[in-house]
Amino acid sequence: MKVWVLALGLACLIAGVNQAKADSDMTVPMVVPFTMQGHVPTVSAQLNGQPIRLAIDLGGYSSLAVRTAALGKMAVAFDGHVDRWKDAEGTEHASRTFSIDELRAGDFMATHVDSSELVTPIVGGQDGYIGFGLLQRYVMVFDYMKGELRLYGHTATDMLKIECGANIFPIDVINGVVQAKIPTDRGVFIFQLDTGASENVFRPSALGDAASSFKGITSIPFSRFTIGSRDFGRTRIPLREFNAPDVDGVLGSDFLDRKLLCLDPQGHRAAIKE
């Protein structure tokens, strides 16, 4: 049974990243190969020259988060600050912060990355994650079929259509959460697009008065599930109440697998292609 994974914070996104290859009009992508580990995209990376396995987690608020055990092998210097945040269950956690001099993964390289300690486990056993705080400055293409993330400059907006076709739809980024409004046969609901979630999930309370009819039921079927101009047809999503983020549901790897997901956070657009 797969487990839904989200890294959720109370504070703003962590910034302060200098990119070695940060040309805003970059039309030749930086390619970051990934494999699916724990049903989450995972990359082989290097932090300050040390090998590490990191999930690619759009639901992660930090630019970079590393598990405490992995940090012990790197002798990082904590800066004295502590981030406090809540997970999807509403449990509060405290994470120490630090800076990584250099992060490398595939063609991608970043320097002086503001990072945080990851004090909660990752289902796939990764040593940490690369989060939305770092990736938001790019046009992103998650190619689940090829097993690679392609990163373009944020002004290379034409790549959205070139890579993923014409099924482009609007997204919002609210408190670091990438989300879209999805019309269904049961109404229009707000879903987070989260590469760090191994499963899809839907909040029963989003059904309002109809929620009582699903008491004791573990999943909900949608006969219409429209994203952009494409109706993905019958879609069944597990039911689970959660405290954060403030969305009706989450679309994770169970939905994104075998697809292309293109994201332009600064242009507030996305596209999905099968």
- Residues 133 and 179 grouped into a single domain: no
Please report whether residue 31 resides in a domain. yes
Here the CATH number for the domain that contains residue 105 is 2.40.70.10
pLDDT at 23: 54
- Residues 151 and 185 grouped into a single domain: no
Please report whether residue 3 resides in a domain. no
In the chain, the number of structural domains is: 2
Q: Higher confidence at residue 114 or residue 16?
A: 114
What are the counts of helices (DSSP H) followed by strands (DSSP E) for the chain? 4, 24
- Residues 84 and 208 grouped into a single domain: no
Per the prediction, the chain carries an average pLDDT of 89
Q: Higher confidence at residue 190 or residue 214?
A: 190
- Residues 188 and 79 grouped into a single domain: no
Please report whether residue 194 resides in a domain. yes
Please report whether residue 11 resides in a domain. no
- Residues 33 and 57 grouped into a single domain: yes
Q: What range defines the domain where residue 34 resides?
A: 18-156
Residue type, 269: R
Question: Is the confidence at residue 231, as pLDDT, over 90?
Answer: yes
Q: Which of 139, 156, 173 is the last residue of a domain?
A: 156
- Residues 91 and 193 grouped into a single domain: no
- Residues 27 and 93 grouped into a single domain: yes
Please report whether residue 69 resides in a domain. yes
pLDDT at 27: 85
113: part of which helix (H) or strand (E)? Answer: strand 108-118
Peptide bond into 245 cis (omega under 30): yes
Q: What is the pLDDT of residues 156-176, one digit of tens each?
A: 999 999 999 999 999 999 999
Q: Which of 136, 156, 176 is the last residue of a domain?
A: 156
Q: 178, 12, 5: which is closest to 88 by C-alpha?
A: 5
Please report whether residue 10 resides in a domain. no
- Residues 148 and 44 grouped into a single domain: yes
pLDDT at 120: 83
Q: Which of 105, 129, 156 is the last residue of a domain?
A: 156
**Cα–Cα dist 272/140, whole Å:** 12
Please report whether residue 181 resides in a domain. yes
- Residues 139 and 200 grouped into a single domain: no
Give bridge partners of residue 50 from the DSSP assignment. Answer: 47
- Residues 198 and 231 grouped into a single domain: yes
